Amino acid sequence: MKCGQRRSYYRWCILCERKQSEDNFKNWTSGNNDIDVFIKHSQFYSSGPQTFLEWIPFNRLENIKYLSKASRSTVYSAIWKDGPRILWNHQNQEYKRSKTQVLVKLYHEDQVNEILNELKIYLDCYARDCALLIQFYGISQHPDHKAYLLIKQYAQNDSLHNYILYNFKSLDWEIKLHLLLYLAEDLKALHNSGYVHRNLNPPNVLVFENGLCAIGSYSKCRKDLSSPNAEEIFGWQRYMAPEFLRYKPYTKASDIYSFGMIMYTVGTGMIPYNQSHDVQYLTLDVCLGLRPKIPVNIPESFSELVIRCWNNEPESRPNIHEIHNTLMNWWSSIYNKCPNSTCLEFLAANDRDHINLKSQKIIQQKPENDKPLILPDLKNLEPLELIKFIISNHFVKYINRDELSTTMEHIGSGHFGTISKTIWKKTNDRVVCKRLKNIESINNKLVEAFLHELSMHRRLDFCSRIIRILGISFDETTEEYLFVMQYADGGDLRNYLQQNFSRLKWEDKIRLAHQITEGINYLHEENILHRDLHSKNIVIHQGEAKIIDLGIAKSTETETNLHPGVFGMISYIDPKLLENCSYKYDKKSDIYSLGVLMWELSSGCPPFNNEDLILLRINLICGAREDPIPDMPIEYLNLYKSCWDNIPDLRPSIKQVFNKLDKMLNFPNDNNDHLILQDSINKSEIEQSEDLTIKEVF
């Protein structure tokens, strides 16, 4: 302490720290103004080493090792050679640095706001005297790939999921309650600061070497919602509250439901719901009241608290303060060996667990005697029973068949259904009706196909680039399910180009490509693959492009055999799929189809029109592509060519395509017939895809 003033906080002088930080500001920059301002602000107002965030040069990190990958980030461990200021030097009365192992979370260059929002929540909790247990150290950046790195405290025992997986047999109830107690402490700090977590599950919880359990990520946190909001469904479905699955407001009580499921996992060693449960119908079953069966060897008081946490009515669940106090009482009774009923109950459970451990199958498996609750089989319900079930649970609006005009004009057919347009009498608006076909292409699983497409639309209901489903209906005369959807006044993209291409300027074509890309970007952010992108599955409404037909769309988070095989128009299908029927469709396959669509927008013609399909298949596998149109903007040309590259890993991510199209629309000249687009690209300059490997990054 050099200023001679009394310290503002324990072992921390704000005046000295501010002076030291300001003197050092000129010695570093992240290259990003938002990051620079944020870090400088945190240092200027820091009240201790826990809130003193730093810009950490990449060359100060060593021994970087891959740990895991999530949908939008990759996690590594590393050694920070300098380390944070965590060791207190009594002689010099200051903090010293110490070489430290850290967690490194890799984000892409366009995810700066996600990093800063997570750090803002971290600092905000500290500012409200609600300190979180994990410590964030700062931000770094890879010098070549420009990926940003969030640096935080390393967890020696990995995630709670893996800790339970590999250590459950050695955990007694004192350790289990200790883990849950600290997790409750962390969630209490978050709730006291006015936040809800929204993605609480074992992989997002970290376990440190001292048995301390803490929330590891705050990327989905936000302020508590007090009114209905169009929530997106994300995260691990088995830990989601039923109201969240039904698009109701996400509140602190929703976090409590997830905490109850984590209690179940810690107490039993099992993931909620056994592996045989069909994930596709889990949402419906959970909303109906399905919960895991708690084994009889679990202490009764523990089981009662778990059941209260996952009550179907949010207002009936306990708050985090009650849970924390209860866990504290239980743990302290065991730790201090208090001769009371609670201590004896948990000690007796330890003895039962020891006897049963050899026969118990933990994590991701169910005990042999643990049978799921019996609920109606949704796949075998009669049509009217299924409709009644959907209506009673408010999954989607039901439109009586007599509300629709008897005159239905056929406008097209797809792989799995027929499309007609009619009038919805109630609103006097045109709507589109899609009838599903019960055919071999969907394994003759009509109800499953219906629920699958309904589920896809519900997840995407609030994206303006996806045609909305207005409701469902049922035709009793033909016993067919109907999706009632928005009507597009411009028809499908193929017909729209045929009728309007001569009037379209380059800016119009690029804008349509931008809108299509925006819709695909929304799909991919939800981890959904469309799998059937072509110009008849894009429609134009009021001059804007929208995506339709989610019949074979698939979540990357689940496996399903509902739509086996390869579907779609050959000229739009990823050649890797044409070459190898076992090739797994991924996001880069959607990118290929987008590249073909972008060419079609530039030419106004369907790709490889009227060519023999057998020869076309062979030619596409060998690298055949449509020729470019003369006088095309060079950036647009190179972008769509990169999308249909024969090597999937060289294709850009949807975010990269979206950003480049966005840039093109921001630089038109006065003559809109020809955009002057700067800086042409080539294949070697294509940015790395989202699926970066450890070798590509480090």
Q: Binding residue per annotation — 176?
A: no
611 lies in the same domain as 632: yes
Residue 505 clears pLDDT 50, i.e. is over it: yes
Other Cβ atoms closer than 10 A to 506: 21
Please report, for the domain that includes residue 70, its CATH number: 3.30.200.20
Range with lowest mean pLDDT among 282-296, 514-528, 538-552, 582-596: 538-552
508 lies in the same domain as 450: no
Confidence class for position 280, pLDDT limits 50, 70, 90: low
Looking at residues 495-507, what average pLDDT do you find? 92
Name which of 144, 139, 59, 156 is nearest 104 in CA terms.
139
Query: For residues 478 and 594, which has the higher predicted lDDT (pLDDT)?
Result: 594
196, 255 contact by CB (below 8 A): yes
535, 683 contact by CB (below 8 A): no
Which residues are within 8 A (CB) of 571 and not within 5 positions of it... i.e. 6 or more apart? 534, 596, 606, 607, 608, 611, 616, 620
pLDDT for 253 = 96
Other Cβ atoms closer than 10 A to 69: 15
Q: Count structural domains, the chain.
A: 4
206, 234 contact by CB (below 8 A): no
423 lies in the same domain as 500: no
Query: For residues 447 and 480, which has the higher predicted lDDT (pLDDT)?
Result: 480
Residue 601 clears pLDDT 90, i.e. is over it: yes
Residue 676 clears pLDDT 70, i.e. is over it: no
pLDDT for 226 = 46
Structural domain includes residue 3: no
| Mean per-residue pLDDT over the chain, rounded | 80
Residue 107 clears pLDDT 80, i.e. is over it: yes
Q: Give 466's strand partners.
A: 547
pLDDT for 668 = 38
407 lies in the same domain as 436: yes
pLDDT for 564 = 44
383 lies in the same domain as 350: no
116 lies in the same domain as 40: yes
Specify burial of residue 634 (Cβ count, 10 A radius: 0-12, 13-18, 19+): middle
Mind listing the pLDDT tens digit for each residue in 217-273? 998 898 856 443 444 555 578 899 998 888 788 899 999 999 999 999 999 999 888
Structural domain includes residue 330: yes
pLDDT for 356 = 55
Most confident option among 125-139, 317-331, 445-459: 317-331
pLDDT for 478 = 79
Structural domain includes residue 372: no
Mind listing the pLDDT tens digit for each residue in 562-571? 344 455 688 9
Mind listing the pLDDT tens digit for each residue in 345-396? 888 887 666 555 444 444 443 333 333 323 344 445 566 666 666 665 556 6
128 lies in the same domain as 182: no
Looking at residues 632-639, what average pLDDT do you find? 94
- What 8-state DSSP symbol labels residue 340? S
Structural domain includes residue 366: no
Other Cβ atoms closer than 10 A to 627: 7
Confidence class for position 129, pLDDT limits 50, 70, 90: confident
Q: Nearest 5 degrees, angle CA 241-CA 329-CA 260?
A: 10
Looking at residues 107-112, what average pLDDT do you find? 82
Looking at residues 477-498, what average pLDDT do you find? 86
Task: HSE, CB side, 13 Å, CA atoms: give it for residue 609.
Answer: 7
566 lies in the same domain as 423: no
Tell me which of 454, 486, 518 is where a domain ends.
486
Q: Give 484's strand partners.
A: 433, 471
547 lies in the same domain as 626: yes
Residue 639 clears pLDDT 90, i.e. is over it: yes
482 lies in the same domain as 498: no
Note every long-range contact of 553-558, with CB atoms under 8 Å and residues 24 or more positions apart, other chains counting.
553/453, 553/456, 553/523, 553/528, 553/529, 554/528, 554/529, 554/585, 555/526, 555/527, 555/528, 555/529, 556/71, 556/527, 556/528, 556/529, 556/586, 556/587, 557/237, 557/527, 558/279, 558/280
Concatenated DSSP letters of 396-421: S-B--GGGB-S--EEEEE-SSEEEEE
Tell me which of 465, 486, 507 is where a domain ends.
486
Concatenated DSSP letters of 358-382: GGPPPSSS--TT-PPPP---GGG--
Range with lowest mean pLDDT among 339-353, 510-524, 546-560, 641-655: 546-560
Confidence class for position 428, pLDDT limits 50, 70, 90: confident
Structural domain includes residue 203: yes
Structural domain includes residue 165: yes
Confidence class for position 688, pLDDT limits 50, 70, 90: very low
- What 8-state DSSP symbol labels residue 244? H
Distance in angstroms between the alpha carbons of the first and the last residue of the chain:
40
pLDDT for 232 = 56
Structural domain includes residue 2: no
208 lies in the same domain as 121: no
d(CA 105, CA 115): 10
Tell me which of 455, 486, 517 is where a domain ends.
486
Looking at residues 514-529, what average pLDDT do you find? 87
Query: For residues 473 and 88, which has the higher predicted lDDT (pLDDT)?
Result: 473
Looking at residues 529-536, what average pLDDT do you find? 88
439, 416 contact by CB (below 8 A): yes
pTM value is: 0.55
Q: Return left, alpha or beta for 679; rule: phi > 0 is left, psi -120 to 50 is alpha, else beta.
A: left
Mind listing the pLDDT tens digit for each residue in 135-172? 999 999 998 888 899 999 999 999 999 999 889 989 99
468: containing domain: 379-486
Looking at residues 653-667, what average pLDDT do you find? 86
Structural domain includes residue 8: no
Measured on CA atoms in the order 124, 204, 521, 429, is the torsion positive or negative?
A: negative
497 lies in the same domain as 472: no
Mind listing the pLDDT tens digit for each residue in 583-600? 888 899 999 999 999 999
